[in-house]
Amino acid sequence: MSAVTDAVPVNPPAHPVVQSVRDSLVIAKRNLIRMSRIPEMVIFGLIQPIMFVVLFSYVFGGSMNIGGTTDPSVYREFLMAGIFAQTVTFATAGAGAGIADDMHKGLIDRFRSLPMARGAVLTGRTLADLVQTALTVFVLAIVALLVGWRTHTSVGEVLAAFALLLLLGYAFTWVGALIGLSVRTPEAATSGGLIWLFPVTFISNAFVDSSRMTPWLQHVADWNPFSATVQACRKLFGNPGVSPSDAWPMVHPVWASLIYSVLIVLIFRTLAVRKYRSAAA
């Protein structure tokens, strides 16, 4: 086994940023390969939002008052921004469960014993999730068009709305990463990653007109980061039901959505990377 003692060509030490990008891409590729080998996960990730579109629009469709009308087709247009936003946030649970699983299987130990960039394992995972989220949103948009959803603005505005959605999803995967590193089992990460999403997505303007909520709930909904993205999407899509509230995030939803998402990334990335460095499987 002479090869064991042979010197192996290794890159000269790179700039930390270059190394971080390179390592993150290696990990992202690994996670994308995994996803392609577990297609069920991707498919279930698609079925759920499609079911929501169909259920919400046909079950709630006739009884929801949006901007003074209960016309189901108006509710359908109103609903889509909410469903898109909810769908991207569900990527959180996948990221959390994946990272908890890596910890459980000892892979995080292996990665931590390698001379690689510290944040790369988590960044790579969140990037792979972003790709999956984009794919899900794309399929969902097609389904939405089929059930009658339309945009009434320029292509640029529509693309900006999707960019904000993906940014929100990306931000939420960092919350999932932190949850995944904090729990003991992948199962706990899945349920722990989902539970908190229900209040966040329901105490918002996503599915109902928040101006009809009791005042304190409306206040929470207006300042909910999730609502800001939904409001921004409705505005950028030209869909009905834009909240008339005069809370700052509702008046400037595009800025609010951008600022909220960037803040979530900065805060939760810092916390998650710190947790990763001391993670004990």
Partner 1 sequence: MPGAIYAEGLVKTFGDVKALDGVDLDVPEGTVLGLLGPNGAGKTTTVRCLTTLLRPDRGRAVVAGVDVLKHPNDVRRSIGLSGQFAAVDEYLTGRENLQMVGRLYQMRAKAAKARAAELLEQFDLADAADRPAKTYSGGMRRRLDLAAALVVSPPVMFMDEPTTGLDPRNRQLLWDVIKRLVSGGTTLLLTTQYLEEADHLAHDIAVVDHGRVIARGTSDQLKARTGGERVEVVVHERDDMPAASEVLRGFGKGDTTVEEHMRKLTVPVTGGAKLLAEVIRELDTRGIEIDDIGLRRPTLDDVFLSLTGHVAEAKDASDEQEPGQKAAKEAAK
Interaction site with partner 1 (CB under 8 A): 1-11, 13-14, 19, 22-23, 26, 29-30, 33-34, 37-38, 104-107, 109-116, 184-185, 278, 280-281
Measured from the CB atom, is 4 or 155 closer to partner 1?
Answer: 4
- Nearest to partner 1 of 104, 219 (CB atom): 104
185: phi > 0 → left, psi -120 to 50 → alpha, else beta; which? beta
| 121/232 with CB nearer partner 1 | 121
Least Cβ distance, residue 266 to partner 1 (angstroms): 24
Q: Minimum distance from CB of 192 to partner 1 (Å)?
A: 16
Residue 110 Cβ vs partner 1, minimum distance, rounded to whole Å: 4
**Rounded to an integer, what distance in angstroms lies between the CA atom of residue 23 and that of residue 154?**
38
- Least separation, in Å, of the C-beta of 233 and partner 1? 34
Q: Please provide the DSSP assignment of 143-194 as one string.
A: HHHHTT----S-HHHHHHHHHHHHHHHHHHHHHHHHHHHHSSSHHHHHHHHH
At its nearest, how many Å lie between partner 1 and the CB of residue 180? 15
Nearer to partner 1 (CB atom), residue 35 or residue 166: 35
Q: Which is nearer to partner 1, 65 or 185 (by Cβ)?
A: 185
The C-alpha atoms of residue 13 and residue 246 are separated, in whole angstroms, by 53
Q: 251 Cβ partners below 8 Å, 6+ apart?
A: 245
